Amino acid sequence: MLNDKLGAMIEIFLAEIFFFVMAWYLQAINRMSYGRYSKIIMIILGFIGILIHRKRSRNYTLLPRNIAFSIKWSIYTLVLFTVVDLITLLIFSSIVSRIKIDLKMLVIDLVWFFIFVGFAEELFFRGYSQPRLNEVFTEKYKKILGIEYEWSKGTLIVAVLFFGIPHILTGVNPFTGRTNINPLIVMVTLFACFLGVLFGVLREKTGGIVLPTILHALIDFTVYGIGRITGIIFSNFAAGISIFLFLAIFFDKILKEKI
């Protein structure tokens, strides 16, 4: 069993290292569009991992067990974030006499955060990596944020070791010699660990990546897409309120509702 655990950890580690090396290299040779190409590599790696292992287990699925359930809660989540984002823009416009909203850039941001961030990362981490580790790390936790819900140790390992902590490397590129690990990046990394657990538990509950993808994309769009207009302080505040409301109003109901 120990060898199975070690083998699974090494497999995910090598896949992620390959992604980072390619992302660093692409950033070094093409700073403008490296992100798009690197996320395409992440999508390919995720699909390869799923194709290799899906015959052994039904857990390597992207579509939820109950599509209507995931769509319903995805819509609720979308409405919640949209309302908070609009209120944030209204408050900001009342402070700043004139704001400029680039609709084209907003559409580009929506595509980027829903496909090349939300979908790409959830496919790799929750679609492939999480089921892979949950095959061998079978221990269960009984609660999450005080809510009685059974979830897996593999989910926690992926969320912290493979999703959260690697965010610290966003300030590093060995091909360019860049090393920029500052307090902000450390805070983002710690928060990513928490969000990774949240996404992972939602993936376990629904059996697919639809709801985690929507939530992931909305958080990043609020921070960076709305942040282009209001500045990062306002957008982070909006994202924080949205996450708080999601946890306070929806999370318990999602975990307790029968599918």
Distance (Å, whole) CA 256 – CA 148: 8
Q: Cβ distance 43 to 209 under 8 Å? A: no
Using 70 as the pLDDT threshold, list the residues of the chain that sit under it.
Answer: none
Residue 74, pLDDT score: 98
Residue 247, pLDDT score: 98
Mind listing the pLDDT tens digit for each residue in 116-160? 999 999 999 999 999 999 999 999 999 999 999 999 999 999 999
Instruction: Measure Cα distances from 6 to 2, 10, 12, 132, 217 in Å.
Output: 6, 6, 10, 12, 31
Strand partners, 140: 152
Residue 33, pLDDT score: 80
Residue 97, pLDDT score: 73
Range list of H helices, the chain: 2-29, 34-53, 67-95, 103-111, 120-122, 130-136, 153-157, 183-206, 210-220, 227-230, 232-245, 252-256
Domain spans of the chain, in order of start: 2-256
Helix (H, G, I), strand (E, B), or coil: what is residue 149?
Answer: strand
Residue 179 CB contacts under 8 Å (≥ 6 apart), including other chains: 171, 172
Distance (Å, whole) CA 240 – CA 221: 13
- pTM for the whole thing? 0.96
Residue 119, pLDDT score: 98
> First CA to last CA across the chain, in angstroms?
32
Distance (Å, whole) CA 62 – CA 122: 9
What does residue 151 show for φ and ψ, rounded to 5 degrees? -140, 170
Other residues' Cβ atoms within 10 Å of the Cβ of residue 19: 19
Q: Cβ distance 257 to 69 under 8 Å? A: yes
Distance (Å, whole) CA 195 – CA 33: 26
Distance (Å, whole) CA 207 – CA 76: 18
Residue 61, pLDDT score: 92
Residue 102, pLDDT score: 86
**Would you tell me the crossing angle of helices 67-95 and 232-245 to the nearest 10 degrees?**
140
Residue 91 structure tokens: 């408050």
C-alpha torsion 128→154→197→65, nearest 10: 50
What does residue 182 show for φ and ψ, rounded to 5 degrees? -115, 175
